[in-house]
Every structure is written in C-alpha cells, then in structure tokens.
C-alpha cells in the first residue's frame, strides 16, 4: 500500500489579499499573503473560510493557480451565479481585505517536477486552474518533460491566462484550445464538445505512458477520462478532479 509522510495539522491562517487581476468578466485571480504558509505542490487546493459579523461562517475549496512561492497563495476564482462565496471573493473582497485559509489539501492530483513521464493536461473551463499551476511549475523548475495542454472552453473570451499561455507554448509545450460554444472564425474545428477525435489527435498516444490530469465539471471529466481509457491509457495514470457548481 502506498504511504506518504504524515503532514502536520492544517491550521487556519489569516490571508491578506494583496493583488487582484481579472481573467474574464466573471473570474478573478487573487494573490494572498499568508504568513507561515508551508508551501504546496502544483495541483493542490486550499480551504477558504469566511465569517460574517454575527459569527456565521462557511467554507469552500479552491485550487491554487501558481506553484509555491514563499508566503504567496494565488487563486483564480470563477464566479458562480447566485453563489454564496465566489461572488464575494470575485467582486467584493478589497485589496487589504482578509479571509482565513488552510492547506495545502490533496496529495493525489499533484504533479512533481522530478517525474520523467510526459504530461497530458486536459482542462474544462475553470478546471484550468490547478493545471496552470503544473504548467507554471514545469517552467519554474526548468523541466524539459514534454507537456500537452488541451483546454476546453466556451469561447475565446472565457479563456484564463490567455496571454501567458500564448507565450508558454514553446520548448516542449503544446497547447490546443477546444471551443464548445463559440470558436474564432479561423478555427476549422468549429464549436463543439471535446470528443474522441480531439483526444485521439491531440493527446499523447497511450504508448508514451503519459501522466494524465483531467480537471473540470463532472460531465466533462467523465467523458474525457472514459475516452482516454478507450484510447488505451492505463486508468492508474489518469488522475481526475471533478467539480460541480461550488458557490
């Protein structure tokens, strides 16, 4: 049985918002300063706790968007219409504002830069966030492992990190977009959901034994993971993270 080191207790820490950047009209990247942050691996997430003045509190989990960098924790949060927490974080929380945060959480959906296998990242919508952390970690580590990112998104306007990803697609990194609702006019594929032909053409062949990471809404992840297995990928090499609406 696989065993890993027992991490210490995950304590709640005060996180101060130091920087915000809009990714799309409904998604925002938040950089927090978290004194005592122990660091994290790309793919891990944090729990965020908000407490109202009358003591009511609630928690949500959000993926970390960037590799470990001292006491900074960077989250990209998609606003869920009528949600409880995400509209506050994407619209209301000001720079200098504080929330509580604990983590890092999750030791399975992680990529380690010492792994020699080629990497396949398949993102659906805001599922790009933990995969972007892996892509960025590869660059930060100077890793040469071949990496392909397949990014399914509704329209060009809804892409996260668009400028950065344009620059990242060099030196062993391939990035392909799959538009589901509205494609640019010069995209011969048009707009449709990702399918067998897309993965057969753009994913690594199963013979290459890539480490596969699939993140997105439940239906997307089910489809992509099932298709990868149909294409011959070993289920043990396909790691998934599914999310439903999480307001």
Partner 1 sequence: MAIVTPGFFGKRRGAADRLPPGQYLADDFPVLTAGPTPVVHTEDWEFTLTNEVGERHTWNWRELQALPAETPTVDIHCVTKWSKLDTAWRGVSLDELFADVDTAADYAMVHSYGGYTTNLPLEDLLDGQAWIAYEYDGEELLAQHGGPARLLVPHLYFWKSAKWVRDIELMVTDEPGFWESLGYHDYGDPWLEQRYQGD
Binding string, residues 175-214; x marks residues near partner 1 by CB under 8 A: ----------------------------------------
- Is residue 38 within the footprint of partner 1 (CB under 8 A)? no
The residue within the footprint of partner 1, chosen from 64, 93, 165, 203 (CB under 8 A), is 93
Judged by CB under 8 A, the chain residues 106 through 125 that form the site for partner 1 are 106-109
Which residue lies nearer to partner 1 by CB, 77 or 225? 225
Which residue lies nearer to partner 1 by CB, 10 or 162? 10
- Is residue 245 within the footprint of partner 1 (CB under 8 A)? yes
Judged by CB under 8 A, the chain residues 57 through 86 that form the site for partner 1 are 57-61, 84
- Is residue 96 within the footprint of partner 1 (CB under 8 A)? no
Radius of gyration for the alpha carbons in the chain, expressed in angstroms and rounded: 18
- Is residue 35 within the footprint of partner 1 (CB under 8 A)? no
Which residue lies nearer to partner 1 by CB, 9 or 70? 9
The residue within the footprint of partner 1, chosen from 36, 56, 81, 185 (CB under 8 A), is 56
* CA–CA gap between residue 205 and residue 62 (Å, rounded): 31
Which range of residues in 32-40, 44-52, 111-119, 176-184 is near partner 1 by CB under 8 A?
Answer: 44-52
SS3 annotation, the chain: CCCCCCCCCCCCEEEEEEEEEEEECCEEEEEEECCCCCCCCCCCEEEEEEECCCCCEEEEEEEECCCCECCEEEEEEECCCCCCCHHHHHHHCCCCCEEEEEEEECCCCCCCCCCCCCEEEEEEHHHHHHHHHHHHHHHHHCCCCCEEEEEEECCHHHCCCHHHHHHHCCCCEEEEEEECCCCCCCCCCCCCCCCHHHHHHHCCCHHHCCEEEEEEEHHHHHHHHHHHHHCCCCHHHEEEEEECCCC
Residues that bind partner 1 (CB under 8 A): 1-4, 6-10, 12, 14, 47, 49-53, 55-61, 84, 88, 92-93, 97-100, 105-109, 218, 222, 225-226, 228-229, 235-236, 238-240, 242-247
């Amino acid at each position: 049985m696989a065993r890993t080191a027992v991490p210490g207790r995950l304590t709640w820490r005060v996180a101060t918002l130091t920087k915000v950047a809009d990714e799309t009209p409904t998604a925002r990247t938040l950089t927090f300063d978290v004194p005592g942050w122990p660091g994290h691996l790309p793919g891990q997430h944090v729990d965020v706790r908000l407490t109202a003045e009358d003591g009511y509190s609630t928690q949500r989990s959000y993926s970390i968007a960037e590799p470990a960098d001292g006491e900074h924790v960077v989250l990209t949060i998609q606003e869920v219409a009528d949600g409880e927490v995400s509209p506050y974080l994407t619209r209301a929380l000001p720079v200098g504002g504080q929330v509580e945060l604990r983590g890092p959480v999750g030791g399975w959906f992680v990529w380690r830069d010492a792994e020699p296998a080629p990497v396949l990242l398949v993102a659906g919508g805001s599922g790009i966030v933990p995969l972007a952390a892996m892509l960025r970690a590869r660059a930060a580590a100077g890793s040469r492992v071949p990496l392909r990112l397949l990014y399914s998104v509704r329209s060009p306007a809804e892409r996260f990190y668009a400028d950065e990803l344009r620059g990242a697609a060099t030196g062993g990194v391939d990035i392909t977009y799959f538009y589901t609702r509205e494609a640019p006019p010069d995209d011969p594929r048009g707009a449709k959901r990702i399918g067998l032909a897309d993965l057969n053409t753009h994913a690594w062949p199963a013979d290459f034994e890539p480490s596969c990471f699939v993140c997105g809404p439940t239906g997307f992840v089910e489809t992509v993971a099932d298709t990868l297995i149909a294409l011959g990928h070993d289920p043990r090499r396909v790691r998934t993270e599914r999310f439903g609406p999480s307001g």
